Amino acid sequence: MSVAVELTHVTKAFGTTLAVNDVSLKIERGEFFFLLGPSGCGKSTFLRIVAGFYKPDTGELRFDDTVMNNIPPHQRNTGMVFQNYALWPHMSVAENIEYGLTLRKLEKPERQEKITRALQMVQMEGYHDRAVNTLSGGQQQRIALARALVIEPSVLLLDEPISNLDAALRQQMRDEIKQIHDRTNITTFYVTHDQVDALSMAHRMAIMQDGVIVQVGTPREVYQFPKNAFVASFIGETNFISGKVQHTSNGTATIETSVGTLHSKAVYRELTQGASVQCSIRPEALIVESNGRGAAENRINATVTAVNYLGRVEEYQLVAADIPLKAVHYNPGTEAKKPGDTIQLGISADAVIPLPD
């Protein structure tokens, strides 16, 4: 049965380094929750605290109403999938999956039934007796997932499980992991630095920086309403244009910048007149306009410096008043631009997000 996972004021230090710094977070029962952050931010330490490999220096970890601080890993009923899969090469596929069931002293018929069901879940039914060292990376990833699922864990912990796979297989495994979660409804905690994994799979996500949780929300909330410039740049691509607030009123702002005055209807924090801000504008929000026509509240002139043709879209590298920008032009057709062209960009006021400088 799935459980809720709650950490309250949890701290973990290694020497003088605070890997996890006074973190409080709750993952709801049955939720597919992601923790994202750059290398060294503390996310793997956080995962290992939940797994029981590390004990918090301060604070409390609970599974539902049970305090878990002193409960050893093998008594937590958690399943874990590591980045390197951590399979035993001298064992067959079935023996790897069976290991956790043997520790739980299940009878052989029940073990065999659960192994068969786990292999079906990861679409590896015909690999029961295969040696794991003969499998591809994607197949090994599936077996590692089956080994974690076969014990019917209360919490499934995933530590960058698909980072070693190629792009096409990563997308396939994203879909399969999401489908498995939808079928099992196991509370799942997934740690990664890959924003695509989180945006495409998560119910909610937390962004971690230097051992601290910076923002928690749904993928849409975090992408559209980043709390600061770090979150805006870490989740997806964005352009930053520096400026000073000239006027604010009822969720709107006028901001003076080197590319001209920008109008924003996306003010969701306190701004004061004269404050320095970074205006975050996503590449897809920079609309390439034809002959100055368009309904956008903001317009800026820019020069194309490079073009990347990607089929249904073209990515333009631009410069405006010495500020580098990136725009995505959908279905360019015969309107495709080339380096050296001067273009006008339209920007909706809803897409200009002023963030603290």
Which of 230-239, 259-268, 269-278, 287-296 comes out lowest in average pLDDT? 287-296
pLDDT in tens, 248-260: 999 999 999 999 9
CA dihedral 224, 187, 158, 24 (to 10 degrees): 60
More confident residue, 296 or 239: 239
pLDDT band at 290 (very low <50, low <70, confident <90, very high): low
More confident residue, 287 or 294: 287
Residue 332 has pLDDT above 80, yes or no: no
Mean pLDDT (whole number) for 262-268: 95
C-alpha to C-alpha distance for 73 and 48, rounded to whole angstroms? 10
C-alpha to C-alpha distance for 279 and 28, rounded to whole angstroms? 34
- Which residue type sits at 99? Y
pLDDT of residue 124: 87
Q: What CATH number should be reported for the domain whose range is 5-229?
A: 3.40.50.300
Mean pLDDT (whole number) for 324-342: 84
| Beta carbons of 229 and 355 less than 8 angstroms apart | yes
pLDDT of residue 110: 86
Residue 291 has pLDDT above 70, yes or no: no
Q: What is the mean pLDDT of the chain?
A: 91
pLDDT of residue 335: 67
pLDDT of residue 122: 87
SS3 per-residue string spanning the chain:
CCCCEEEEEEEEEECCEEEEEEEEEEECCCCEEEEECCCCCCHHHHHHHHHCCCCCCEEEEEECCEECCCCCHHHCCEEEECCCCCCCCCCEHHHHHHHHHHHCCCCHHHHHHHHHHHHHHCCCHHHCCCEHHHCCHHHHHHHHHHHHHCCCCCEEEEECCCCCCCHHHHHHHHHHHHHHHHHHCCEEEEEECCHHHHHHHCCEEEEEECCEEEEEECHHHHHHCCCCHHHHHHCCCCEEEEEEEEEEECCEEEEEECCEEEEECCCCCCCCCCCEEEEEECHHHCEEECCCCCCCCEEEEEEEEEEEECCCEEEEEEEECCEEEEEEEECCHHHCCCCCCEEEEEECHHHCEEEEC
CA dihedral 17, 19, 22, 25 (to 10 degrees): 180
| Beta carbons of 161 and 81 less than 8 angstroms apart | yes
Residue 312 has pLDDT above 90, yes or no: no
| Beta carbons of 291 and 301 less than 8 angstroms apart | no
pLDDT of residue 302: 96
In the chain, what percentage of residues exceed pLDDT 90? 63
Class of domain 238-356: mainly beta
Domain-wise residue ranges, the chain: 5-229, 238-356
- Residue 4's alpha-carbon distances to 31, 174, 192, 280, in angstroms, are 8, 23, 20, 35
Most confident of 38-42, 98-102, 160-164: 38-42
Which of 196-205, 283-292, 347-356 comes out lowest in average pLDDT? 283-292
Mean pLDDT (whole number) for 44-65: 97
pLDDT band at 5 (very low <50, low <70, confident <90, very high): very high
Residue 269 has pLDDT above 90, yes or no: no
pLDDT of residue 16: 93
- Which residue type sits at 323? I
pLDDT of residue 131: 86
Mean pLDDT (whole number) for 180-188: 93
C-alpha to C-alpha distance for 241 and 243, rounded to whole angstroms? 7
pLDDT band at 318 (very low <50, low <70, confident <90, very high): very high
pLDDT band at 295 (very low <50, low <70, confident <90, very high): low
Q: Exposure of 251 by Cβ count < 10 A (0-12 exposed, 13-18 middle, 19+ buried)?
A: exposed
Return the structure tokens found at 48: 């290992």
Residue 334 has pLDDT above 80, yes or no: no
Angle of the 93-103 helix axis to the 108-121 helix axis, nearest 10: 130
- Which residue type sits at 103? L
Residue 84 has pLDDT above 80, yes or no: no
pTM: 0.89
Residue 125 has pLDDT above 80, yes or no: yes
C-alpha to C-alpha distance for 116 and 109, rounded to whole angstroms? 11
Residue 293 has pLDDT above 80, yes or no: no
